[in-house]
Amino acid sequence: MSIYQFNSYKMFFNDWVARQPKNGHGEYRRLALALGVSTTLISQVFNGDKDISLEMASDICDYLHLNDEESEYFLLLVEMEKAGSFKLKNRLSKQIKDRKDRAKKLENRFKKETVLDESARQIYYSSWIYPALRILVDIPDLNDIEKISERLLIPKNQLLKFLEFMVKHNLIIQKQNKLKMGPSSVYLPATDPLANRNHQNFRNLAIQKMNFHNDESFYYTGLYSLSESVANELRKALPDFIEELLKKVKPSASETARCLNIDFFEF
């Protein structure tokens, strides 16, 4: 569910936890480790009357992979919860309403661009082939089914089934045997349960590709014993790295297709 459907940061977080694998079992402990606080404190906050500091709230936004707009809304909810006067609560309430209205307009815009209903989304994220097709057809040298079949080493007759779905939902346009990216888009927030499936699909693909290692690929696994502060620093640096990377990727020409997987977790 969208964060903008909530008026309480606690209800939003607990809803997010409930949507995680195994109903979020152990999520409080993982958040506590990420923030460098006790699990008891996290439980007292999200199951009790305690409130988090704005500094902790900011770190939770990073933990949940919220974008800038969502993070600002989350912080407003925290401020609202902590506000000590009616005047301040009223002012923050107006800001929250403004954010909701702005998000609603953005959501409506996405709905116009995105035609996938829930059942279609389930299909789209069932295999890495669907999103890979959408990226590949944007490359001029790979805009027909024959070339993509050779590139992916997938038989043409099998690939046509995937292409049929993509064309049907306007994610790919087919004109005179040439393919190109369609006007529809698929928005997948990090809190969506399908995000985990999407990650798994491409992790599995990466494992397959390791058997055909070449100079254009790079695989790295590092196991470290390090301080909590450095671990938290590394965790916070990863989204910044991705953001800087996207600034270069988005305006560049479509010449090749690559997949970037980054895993950073406690074991």
For residue range 72-109, list pLDDT tens digits in order.
999 999 999 999 899 999 999 999 999 888 877 766 54
Same-domain status, 76 and 149 = no
Mean pLDDT of all residues in 102-131:
74
Band (58; pLDDT cuts 50, 70, 90): very high
Residue at a domain's end among 166, 181, 196:
181
What's 86's domain CATH number?
A: 1.10.260
Domain-located, residue 198: no
Q: Whole-model pTM?
A: 0.53
Share of the chain above pLDDT 70, in %: 91
Same-domain status, 108 and 126 = no
Domain-located, residue 201: no
33-47, 103-117, 132-146, 220-234 — most confident range = 33-47
Q: Which pLDDT belongs to residue 195?
A: 82
Domain assignment of residue 162, given as a range: 118-181
Q: Which pLDDT belongs to residue 33?
A: 94
Quote the number of domains for the chain. 2
Q: Which pLDDT belongs to residue 56?
A: 94
**For residue 73, which of 56, 52, 92 has the smallest C-alpha distance?**
92
Band (1; pLDDT cuts 50, 70, 90): low
pLDDT tens for each residue of 199-212: 888 888 888 888 87
CB-CB contact of 217 with 209 (8 Å): yes
Residue at a domain's end among 60, 95, 113:
113
Average pLDDT of the chain, as a whole number: 85
Q: Is the pLDDT of residue 182 over 70?
A: yes
Domain-located, residue 208: no
CB-CB contact of 226 with 173 (8 Å): no
Mean pLDDT of all residues in 45-68:
91
Q: Which residues of 60-97 are buried (b: 16+ CB within 10 A; e: fewer)?
A: bbbbbebeeebbebbbbbbbbbeeeeeeeeeebeeebe
Q: Is the pLDDT of residue 22 over 90?
A: no
Same-domain status, 140 and 165 = yes
Mean pLDDT of all residues in 168-176:
82
CB-CB contact of 43 with 51 (8 Å): no
pLDDT tens for each residue of 155-164: 988 899 899 9
Same-domain status, 108 and 128 = no
Q: Give whole-number Cα distances, 143 to 2, 136, 150, 180, in Å.
A: 35, 7, 12, 6
Same-domain status, 20 and 58 = yes
Same-domain status, 14 and 100 = yes
Determine the angle formed by the axes of helices 145-152 and 129-136, rounding to 10 degrees: 130
Q: What whole-number distance in Å separates Cα of residue 59 and Cα of residue 236?
A: 8
The owner of tokens 């099998």 is: 158
Q: Is the pLDDT of residue 112 over 70?
A: no
What number of CA atoms fall less than 13 Å from residue 55's CA on the CB side? 3
Q: Which pLDDT belongs to residue 104?
A: 75
Q: Is the pLDDT of residue 30 over 60?
A: yes
Lowest mean pLDDT among 17-21, 177-181, 197-201, 213-217: 213-217
Close Cβ partners of 87 (under 8 Å, ≥ 6 residues apart): none
Phi-psi label, residue 22: left if phi above 0, alpha if psi -120 to 50, beta otherwise: left
